[in-house]
Amino acid sequence: MILAALGFVVCTAAILWAGTRLAAYADVIALRSKLGRVWAGMILLAVATSLPELVNSISAGLQNLPDIAAGDVGGSNVVNLVIIGLVDVLYRNRSCLANLHSFHSRSIAFLMAMSALAAGATLLGPHFPVLFWFSPFTVVIIVLYVLAIRKAHSAEETAALAPAIPTISLRQAVVRYLLFALVVVIAACLLPTAASYIADHTGLGNTFVGTLMVALATSLPELVTAAAAVRIGAAEMAVGGILGSNLFNLTILGVVDLVYWRGSLFAAIEGQHAVPLTLGVVLAGLFYIVLRKCPSRRFLRITWFGWIALGVYVTNAVFLYLTR
């Protein structure tokens, strides 16, 4: 048990260390290749910070640990939305969520639709027909992700954010990106084994451990990169990265469903996973309200959205603990 806990901590630290550097080099690649900062946030930054979730979930699926795979995705999406609300504390005079560009609303709409589909697939999984071995919901989720990314890449939106000038070449950024990606892949492959051992020997269960412990561990890169972006005044990049990461996370469910050759992933997981996925829809809807009209008042430098998001996370943790 001690070795499993130590392994979990070491893997988490490795993911945090390499994941944050992945995000930095993804940004450099975007700028050097002239892809644009918005597209970088939605694609490269999101994929870089979501790489732990991707590898961890696929690894868990291949190891026949579907609840850890699904829990990581649903839990990470809730954690990421909490991060958006809490990084506001780094802004002293006003909310960092004020005056955000309206194009984020499209990402929120896709996020709500994909989260609702994933929640529905989880509830209907055992009773819904499959295509070959995977769920039809998987196809719709992946198609929606592709549409979301196509909508994100426009010249007008790319020009809305002024890029910084990177100090290293494109080749150097790509090489370092791949090296740190390798570290994340190794750590994320080992993480499900340690998490499963902890779940079995503590009685917490794979759903609880996957949704809370593993999700929190794999969301650390998002926390660090969002905080760093807000500190330098790049709130647009922080929000774009978080929303893009959540969209990519939901697509991970579809990817895991495709590689989970034992049958549909949604038929194998517990129904409790629909709770964090549904909470993701609710929080995304609340964030849309903030995007349209950011509150001017804050308590302890946090808006009402941040406090509600934190309360939702705690409530979800209590629910999963009681129903484990």
Band the pLDDT of 54: cuts 50, 70, 90. confident
Q: From CA 158, how far away is CA 285, in angstroms rounded?
A: 24
Residue 158's pLDDT is 42
Query: What does the pLDDT read at residue 103?
Result: 74
Residue 88 scores a pLDDT above 50: yes
Cα(31)–Cα(309) distance, integer angstroms: 32
Res. 256: pLDDT tops 60: yes
CB 119 within 8 A of CB 278: yes
Report, as an integer, the average pLDDT of 314-320: 80
For residue 324, pLDDT beyond 80: no
CATH number at residue 218: 1.20.1420.30
**At residue 282, does pLDDT exceed 90?**
yes
Please give the Cα distance from 85 to 304 (Å, whole number): 8
- d(CA 227, CA 57) in angstroms, rounded, equals 25
Residues 6 or more apart whose Cβ sits within 8 Å of residue 317: 212
Predicted pLDDT of residue 155: 37
List the domain range (segments joined by +) for residue 60. Answer: 2-322
Query: Of 175-179, 189-193, 312-316, which gets the smallest average pLDDT?
Result: 189-193
Task: Tell me the one-letter amino acid at 12.
Answer: T
CA distance readout (Å), 230 to 57, 172, 237, 239, 286: 29, 26, 8, 9, 20
Mean pLDDT for 129-135 is 81
* HEC profile of 283-315: HHHHHHHHHHCCCCCCECCECHHHHHHHHHHHH
Secondary structure in 3-state letters for 49-98:
HHHHHHHHHHHHHHCCCHHHHHHHHHHHHHHHHHHHHHHHHHCCCCCCCC
Distance of alpha carbon 25 from alpha carbon 11, whole angstroms? 21
pLDDT band at 285 (very low <50, low <70, confident <90, very high): very high
107 has pLDDT over 60:
yes
pLDDT digits (tens, 9 = 90+) for 133-172: 888 899 999 999 988 877 665 434 443 444 444 577 888 8
For the CA atoms of the chain, what is the radius of gyration?
A: 19
Provide the domain count of the chain: 1
Q: Are 78 and 218 in contact (CB under 8 A)?
A: no
